[in-house]
Structure 1
Amino acid sequence: MKQKLLLLCLSLSPIVFYAQKLNKAKNNLKKDSSYKVSYDKIEIEDDQSDKTSSFQHDLAYELIAKPILFITSYVGYGLLVETVMEKEGKHAYMELTPYPYINHLKGDYAFEANEVTFTRFDISNQFLTDQNNTYGNNLNVKFRFLKRASVEYNQLYLLETQKYTSQFFTHDLTANYYRVRTQHLSLHYGLGVSYAYSGVNKAYFTYNTGISYFMNVPLSISLEHRGTPFSVNGIYQTKLNFNYHIHNYVIQAGFNFYNIGNVHYKMFGLGGKIYL
């Protein structure tokens, strides 16, 4: 009798563990960190030493800090926005296509092509699952405009069904800039805000970055990552998709990795995408 009871407890322990996994993630997200900062009062008694210190600071700023700031801003602009060579070359004149591989064009962007558009909607949806009775859905909508910009809405819903049922819902809104725009490759990054529901009820800033590589008709690969770094624990989403293009429709399959409150999920995603 004792042996049967022991076997029953061992068989039920994984169920309890997985059922509490999503609850643990949400509880971790609710935690806040507190930092104690102490300030000391500094009294300066000698006016002459204060003037000398001010002169030294001004000299250091003009000779060291100012050139460093100029070089940093120049290099930073080139890395994040556009270099001088790119501004004078084809990269600055790449146009957004209605959808990848239209009339045998390569990808998101084309140079001096007839098939271009000023605005475009990229709408995708994927169903998610793992091996531990956790399911979900990921909806993503991008409004592309001005060749280099987009506004993106991303929504994630997870449902854990075991002995206990738990769910998690979050969405974010970001403004994106497309830094790399070529026929085969496009890369973007963005900043925005995110809100987590399901008992977490927190808003925070979020960032994202993504890259798409268009190999040849009808295949492409895309990799995206977004993060919401709460004070203690955050929400981090990474997805790798393999895409099969059929006109303005795409069949998507890939892997999704989630870190929610330091609780990790590895899920398989299957869905589709449409360009409008």
Structure 2
Amino acid sequence: MKYKFLVFSLLLFSIPLSAQKLDKAKEGLKENITAPKTSSEKNIQNEKNFSFGDYMAYELLIRPLVWITTKVTYGIFVESFFEQNTKHSKMKLTPHPYANKMRGDYTIDTNGFVANRVDLSNVVLTDMNHTYGNNLNVKFRFLERTNIEYNQLYLLESDNDIRSQFFMHDLTVNYYRIRTKKICLNYGLGASYVHSQVNKAYFTYNTGVSYFLSVPLSLGLEYKKTPFYDNGITQTKINFNYHLRQYAMEAGYRFYQIGNVSYKMVALGAKVYL
């Protein structure tokens, strides 16, 4: 396995904050970051001795239900019994979409596939008004079905020399549940940390799908949620990609819900597959 190292640096300027749209969003997050309400404690009494009827109920009803639930859950989220030893279970990761006449992220061809890959993308953002930003995303894909994803979001609002900023990053582990030549779908869990006077961390979940039309075009849709109890952070991405060898031009839309404030932004950038 070839080891790859990526070095990232980000220079942030200290900018005075004011009561603008971004400040309202951050205040909404801080106001709702409180300790979750604890439910009343319940006393559970365990019987020291089980009757023969209890034992039979456990063996004939409870245990089979647990076994069935486990198998169904595994089949839905990981791999079902019917998929084992099929083409879907044997899909390999391509070096990049449309490489060597292969279709998308996965191929059944045993020649030309790779064991791991890095997808690096960066886009600039604008709401065509007073808010600008940058979105850096890195996916380290390995074991054919898994990736570790780092996502960084920076927004800057500037209006009449009054500026406010928002900065957060998240780290998730994703599993690719659907892997075909034309479409792949993934989901994952992780954690997010919000800077810019919020200074809080919370868990994050996400899902995404990629659809490869034909050379050189593809579409992507991603949804990510950080609950933060009442008000949280929602990131929705719609991407249109134009592929050229191991590179891609990326354009699309971003929809952000930060606290109780929403943003609709245009995204434009590039992607490279390493």
Q: Same fold (TM over 0.5)?
A: yes
Bigger Cα displacement from structure 2, 83-92 vs 25-34: 25-34
Runs of 5+ in structure 1 lacking a partner? 1-17
Give the CA deviation at 1:236.
1.0
User: What corresponds to 1:13 in structure 2?
Assistant: none
Specify the alignment match of 2:214 in structure 1: 216
- Of 56-65 and 24-33, more deviation after overlay is shown by 56-65
Provide the rounded CA distance (Å) in 2 between the counterparts of 1:243 and 1:268: 14
**SS of match in other structure, 1:70:** helix
Letter in 2 for 1:161: S
Q: Do the aligned partners of residues 269 and 41 (structure 1) sit closer, same or farther apart at CA in structure 2, a change above 3 Å counting?
A: closer
Q: How far did residue 53 of structure 1 move?
A: 8.5
| 2-structure distance, mates of 1:105, 1:40 | 57
Aligned partner (choices 241, 250, 268) of residue 239 of structure 2: 241
Alignment of 1:2-151 (within 5 A): 20-31=20-31, 32-33=33-34, 34-35=36-37, 37-39=39-41, 60-151=57-148
Deviation at 1:264, TM superposition (A): 0.8
Amino acid at match of 2:30: K
Deviation at 1:51, TM superposition (A): 6.8
| Native 8 Å contact 1:26 1:200 kept in 2 | yes
2:68 corresponds to which letter in structure 1? I
Aligned to 1:116, the other structure's residue is in SS state: coil
TM-score normalised to structure 2 length: 0.86
**Larger of the two Rg values belongs to structure:** 1
* Structure with the higher fraction of residues in helix conformation: 1
What is the alpha-carbon distance in structure 1 between the residues aligned to residue 40 and residue 100 of structure 2?
Answer: 65
Shift of 1:55: 7.0
Taking only aligned residues, the RMSD between alpha carbons, in angstroms, comes to: 2.3
Question: Aligned pair in 2 of structure 1 residues 54, 244: CA closer, same or farther (>3 Å)?
Answer: farther
**So what's the TM-score if we normalise by structure 1?**
0.85
Whether contact under 8 Å (1:19, 1:160) holds in the other structure is: no
The one-letter amino acid paired with 1:20 is Q
Q: Distance in 2 between matches of 1:191 and 1:261?
A: 21
Q: Distance in 2 between matches of 1:104 and 1:267?
A: 34
TM-fit CA distance, 1:91: 1.0
Query: Using a 3 Å threshold, how does the CA distance of structure 1 residues 110 and 40 change in structure 2: closer, same or farther?
Result: closer
Determine the C-alpha separation between the residues in 1 that align with 2:59 and 2:69.
15
Q: 1:36 to 1:162 in 2, by over 3 A?
A: same
- TM-aligned CA deviation for residue 190 of structure 1: 1.1
Distance 1:56 1:217, change over 3 A: same
1:222-237 matches, cutoff 5 A: 222-237=220-235
Q: Which runs of 5+ in 2 are unaligned?
A: 1-17
Percent identity between matched residues is: 57
SS in 2 for 1:88: coil
